[in-house]
Amino acid sequence: MGTDISFVVFNEKKEYASMLELQEKTREEVIAKKHNGVIFFLEHEDVYTVGLRGKDNDFKDISAINRENIPVVKIRRGGEVTWHGPGQLIIYPVINFRKAGFRSIKEFVSFIGNSIADVLRNNYGISSARWSDDKPGVWVDDRKIAFVGLHFRKFVPVHGFSLNLDPDINRFSTIIPCGIPECKITSIFNETGTPVRMEEVCGHILDIFKTGIPDIYRNEMEGR
Which residues form the catalytic set? 178
Contact 52, 78 (CB under 8 A): yes
User: DSSP letter string over the chain?
Assistant: --S-EEEEE-SS-B-HHHHHHHHHHHHHHHHTTS-SEEEEEE-BPSEEEE-TT--GGGBS-HHHHHHTT--EEE-SSSSSEEEE-TTEEEEEEEE-TTTTT-SSHHHHHHHHHHHHHHHHHHHH--TTEEEETTTTEEEETTEEEEEEEEEEETTEEEEEEEEESS--GGGGGGB-GGG-TT-EE--HHHHHS----HHHHHHHHHHHHHHHSTTEEE-TTTT-
Q: Cβ of 154: how many Cβ atoms within 10 Å? A: 9
